[in-house]
Structure formats: C-alpha cells, structure tokens
Structure 1
Amino acid sequence: MSRLPTVLTRLLGIDLPIVQAGMSWASSCSALPLAVSRAGGLGVVAAGPMRIADLTRVLDEMAGGTDAPWAVNLPLNRAGVDEVIELLLARKPPVLIASQGGPSRYLRRFHDAGIRCLQVVAGTVHARKSAEAGVDGLIVVGAEAGGHPPPGMVGTQVLVRAVVKAVPEVPVIASGGVADGAGLAAMLALGAGAAQFGTRFIASDEATVHPDYKAAVLGASVEDTRTVGHGLGLIRGIANSFTARMAELEQSAADLDVRRKAFHASTLRDAALGDIAEGKVEAGQSAGIIGEVLPAAEIVERIVAEYGEARDRLP
C-alpha cells in the first residue's frame, strides 16, 4: 500500500491524507467507510440521520471490519445528540468529527476516552476558538463544497490558506471542490495535512444512495449546482425543481415562513431514495469533474496516482 505521510496522517495513524466526508445517507453505513479505511484513508460514518439501533450496528461492523482508523461524523444539532454521544463514548471510535456546534459540548469527555477530535469550521474565528479549546485538528469547508458550504461563501483555496495562517499549530483537512489527486496536491501545497472528498465518494459503488442520485452527480457540469436556503441552513445541491423553486422564492423576497416551508418540504433523504427532481440532491461543484462510479478503494488508488502525476508536473 502507498503511504503519503503528513502531520495529519501521523496524528490519525492513517497511510494516506485522504478523508472521505461524512455524508448523511451516503455514508450512514459501514460499507463505504470500511472500504476507504482499508484502502489507507479515513472512512467516516455519517451519524446525523441514524437511529441509535442502526448506528450501534454500524459501529460494531466498523470495529469488527478493520484495524485501521476510522471516524464518526456527528452534527451536534441533531435530535437525540446526548444519547448518541453516550453511545460513541461507550463504543470509542478512533476519531470523532463534530459539526454544527462548538467543542465545549464534547471535547473533554472524548479526549478522556482516548478519541481524537476534529472540528468542522467555516472561518478563521471559529478555527481560532476551536484551536483554543484544544481540538486535535480542523476540517475547513469552502464554498465549493456540497451539503453545507460556509455562509460567507469563501472559496476553499482562500479559506484553507487563511486558517492555516491563523492557527498554524493545528493540522488542517481541506474540504470543498476536491475530487482528484491534483486537488489533493493543491490542498497540501496550501498547508493542509489532508483533503476531504465528499462528492467523489457519492459516485462510488458503496455509497448508499439511489443510482439516480449517482447518475445526477455524473451528469452535472461544474455550473450545475445551486446554493439555496439562505437564512435557513444553506445547502449546495444539483439544480432541480426544488432548487428552482427556492431560488424563485429567494429572488422575490418571499416571506421567511413561506421559504422555510418550501425548504423543509424537500429532504436529502428524498434524494437518497431516488427523488432527484424534488429532493435535496446535495453535491459540490466538483461533480463536474467526476466521470464514473467506481469502487471506493479504486477511487483512493486513483487519487494517489493522480497526486503523483500532479507532483511530477511541478517545476
């Protein structure tokens, strides 16, 4: 197996600076995270939409399926988060990735349990606060990302560089617009210790979303995503009837309650089950540079090969 050592790979005990994003429904399973971790990256279970019984089963499958490090992504604003926290402290995943809330809620207890803790941030202020709290690393999400891009819509290249300069003592994982080895090389050149790949792994055999969702990713150009839900929990997704309706409401300055009703009438689960017209087909701009669905392990291998090619092109 190839190894690309960085400060981040050494921190987490992984071979490659490749992190599979925790994506609700797509990686709310063991198949995709196991494949990525076995290939040398960091596979991530998305705990956000999972019931306790399902999460318990998946955590056991992860622990029994690999000796390599893996992670759980936990949105701190999800319903029943305290019960999930207790489950994770009992099962002790090697790495916790927390989002949608600050480190004070979880950090001390997870550190006491020997769990590495990474915090998702979208700006330098939050990055500094998280660093001061004592997180082990940061995942910096730029505007190109699918799912929930930063409200300020700062691009990944600028945001990663700003955070690296603001908190040079904390390892950074760059996320947003990265889909291949050239993107990985670019993020490492900016000072990140790894890159996070989300949309690229939606287009994997193991991602547990409907084939039509994967086909929508493959069919999208770099211009075919939209950001909607301003003031309601901004998302980036592939343009469809839902995004068109939301954009019309936003452009017409419709009442907030009207926009909220329309926004919440559509869900990511709808898309994951195959409704790509009315569901939230969350994906990043990198969908436009993804050409085929592949096994996750092959995706990892290709990223490593492409990284080498990109490195060799540099003067």
Structure 2
Amino acid sequence: MTFRSRLPALLGIAHPILQGGMSWASSCAALPLAVSRAGALGVIAAGPMRPDDLVAAIRAVRAGTDNPFAVNVPLYNKRSAEFLDIAEAERVPVLIASQGGPKALPRFRAIGTKWLHVVASPLHAAKAEAAGVDAVIAVGGEAGGHPAPDEVSAMVLVRAVVKAVSIPVIGAGGVADGAGIAAMFALGAEGAQLGTRFLMTREATVHAAYKDRVRAAGIGDTTLVGRGGLPIRQLRNAFSAQVDASERAGMPAAELDALIKSRSLKDAALDGDVDWGKVEAGQSAGLIDDLPGAEELVHRLVAETEAARMRLVA
C-alpha cells in the first residue's frame, strides 16, 4: 500500500489496517495472531474474557509473532480495571480503549504502549487528542456492535474527525474491502478498521451458524436495537423483531430495557442461536460472501487497496 500514513511508523505495522476487537470473534489468540503475522494489527477483544484467558491469549500471540498486536478494553466493562492491569503487566504493544475516557493513559505511556481511542464524534476526538492519545478510531453508524448512537455515517463522521484533530485517524464502519479502505484515505484517514470482514474468516471464534447468517445477509439486513440507550447493530432476526414490535406498542422503558438485556451476543456467537441471540454485524455484511483465512484476507485487502488507488490516479 502506498497511501501515506503515519500508522506504520507509529505502531510498527506494515499495513495501516486494523482488525476490529470483536467480543467472542477475537477474544482469542487465533484471529489476532493471524492478522498480525500478515503485517496488519490484530486485536484481542478482552470484553467477555476471563482474566487468565486474556493473559494466555496475549502470551500466545506474542509467542507466535514478533509483530505488534493490540488488546481492546471497553472501559464501561465491570472488569475493565483488571483488564488494564493485565495489559500493563504484560506490556502489550498497543491498547485500544472504547466507551470511556483515557484516564489510565499515563500508566501506559510510561511503558511505551501506544493508546488508540475509539470515538463517535469530533468533540470526543478532540478531547482524546488533548488527553494525549496516539490516534483515534472514528466508528460510523454502519458498524456492527456498538456504533455511534446518533447513527452518523462513516462518510461524514470520519471526515469531521479528521478536520477536528491533528493525530492520525483510523476510519471504521462499512469497510469490507480495499475500495472501502481507499475511501477512508480519501476522507483524510490514515488507516481503516474492519470488524465484520474479519469476523468472516476461518480463525474468528464464533459459531458456524453465526457466520452462515452473516454470509446470507444483504446490505439492508441489519437494524439497531436499543435506540436511546447503548444501541447495538445486529442482523434482523426474531429477537430484533420482538424488540421492534414492543417499541411500537409503547412498552414502558424499564420493561423494554429488560427485554433487550434478556438476550446476548453470547447466545448467538457461542451457542449458535441466531434467531434469538444478538447477531452483531455491520452493514458491510452485505458485501461479504466468502470465508478466507485471516492472513490471506490481509494480503487481499492490501492488493485491493492499491488497485483502488491506481484507479483513482489513472
């Protein structure tokens, strides 16, 4: 890839491509290790992991490659303080934090860990820059999992964040191939994060039924569950239909919240209940129709991105 970017020098990676930290899918060593081996940034998703399993995954990735990798810590998680302690003790090369402020940044700056912060608005990005983070990840409303509550698309959000800060911006949301990565660079970003695309690799540790449902999805087959709170973008299924019907019927807020919390990502990702579990996926699911190995995918993305760049300058 010949797009200009500060990320390779900043993070020690060959390609400015990040694998999104996805609970269950990358709460392991296999997917992050494969991505990092290929020269992109593999990311361990700490969220649902037991502390001992997180330590084991970090050590397995480190044993498998000399290339950098990251640990993603959702700061709202009740175990986030323990996850941060583990990341510090294990001296992870890169920490990616989301859904909270970078208060623990000085601890990681002292040991040389790079801190990337997930943001959902130009204001949040500016605050993160002022706090001293190394780069921000701007996630648009197309993304799976927990996108921005205001649903602003990556096309607008990434551009606004680039205009708001001077540190590197990584664009995310709706990116599934090299053309999408090139689009992030066209907006002024210096890299791209892909979640659903890496979910659809052989190394991602989610149930086969989950991958089958994502593979069959079209670009309009996702929905947001839980608007007004911490929304989740997932594929439409029996559960999302029940929530939608309850909202339209005027279910009291407390009851609706209890309904939304009655089902989980684990139900779908681990147990394979893709009708009633939360099948988190981005709109880019409709652009994906295969299940490659993660290393093969990274190499493909690099080639596709360079091909897109050449089309633009031809």
After superposition, where does 1:52-201 map in structure 2 within 5 Å? 52-104=51-103, 106-167=104-165, 169-201=166-198
The Cα offsets for residues 2-43 of structure 1, whole Å up to 9 and x where unpaired, read as: 776511222111000110000000000000000000001000
Measure, in 1, the Cα distance between the counterparts of 2:4 and 2:294. Answer: 21
Aligned to 1:262: 259
Measure, in 2, the Cα distance between the counterparts of 1:84 and 1:72. Answer: 9
| 2:220–2:283 Cα contact (<8 Å) kept | yes
Measure, in 2, the Cα distance between the counterparts of 1:227 and 1:54. Answer: 31
Measure, in 1, the Cα distance between the counterparts of 2:35 and 2:10. Answer: 17
Measure, in 2, the Cα distance between the counterparts of 1:298 and 1:150. Answer: 30
Aligned to 1:32: 31
Aligned to 1:10: 9
Measure, in 2, the Cα distance between the counterparts of 1:245 and 1:221. Answer: 21
Aligned to 2:242: 245
| 1:5–1:15 Cα contact (<8 Å) kept | no
Secondary structure of 1:174's aligned partner: strand
After superposition, where does 1:207-286 map in structure 2 within 5 Å? 207-273=204-270, 274-286=272-284
Give 1:80 deviation, angstroms: 2.1
| 1:72–1:93 Cα contact (<8 Å) kept | yes
| 1:142–1:175 Cα contact (<8 Å) kept | yes
AA of the residue aligned to 1:116: K
Give 1:130 deviation, angstroms: 0.5
Secondary structure of 2:66's aligned partner: coil
Measure, in 1, the Cα distance between the counterparts of 2:44 and 2:2. Answer: 23
Give 1:310 deviation, angstroms: 1.2
Aligned to 2:310: 312
| 2:26–2:205 Cα contact (<8 Å) kept | yes
Secondary structure of 2:44's aligned partner: strand
Gaps of 5+ in 1: none
Q: 1:42 to 1:5 in 2, by over 3 A?
A: farther
Secondary structure of 2:234's aligned partner: strand
| 1:217–1:283 Cα contact (<8 Å) kept | yes
Secondary structure of 1:40's aligned partner: coil
Give 1:252 deviation, angstroms: 2.5
Q: 1:5 to 1:91 in 2, by over 3 A?
A: farther
| 2:144–2:281 Cα contact (<8 Å) kept | yes
AA of the residue aligned to 2:175: V
Measure, in 1, the Cα distance between the counterparts of 2:249 and 2:257. Answer: 14
Aligned to 1:287: 285
TM-score (norm 1): 0.97
Measure, in 1, the Cα distance between the counterparts of 2:312 and 2:85. Answer: 48
Measure, in 2, the Cα distance between the counterparts of 1:10 and 1:251. Answer: 50
Identify the range of structure 1 (127-136 vs 75-84) with the bigger mean alpha-carbon deviation: 75-84
Secondary structure of 1:89's aligned partner: helix
Measure, in 1, the Cα distance between the counterparts of 2:110 and 2:209. Answer: 43
AA of the residue aligned to 2:237: N
Measure, in 1, the Cα distance between the counterparts of 2:45 and 2:190. Answer: 22
Which segments of structure 1 move beyond 4 Å, counting only runs of 4 or more?
Answer: 2-5
Give 1:314 deviation, angstroms: 1.4
Measure, in 2, the Cα distance between the counterparts of 1:116 and 1:186. Answer: 25
| 1:4–1:16 Cα contact (<8 Å) kept | no
Measure, in 1, the Cα distance between the counterparts of 2:98 and 2:137. Answer: 9
| 1:5–1:17 Cα contact (<8 Å) kept | no
AA of the residue aligned to 1:305: A
Q: 1:60 to 1:5 in 2, by over 3 A?
A: farther
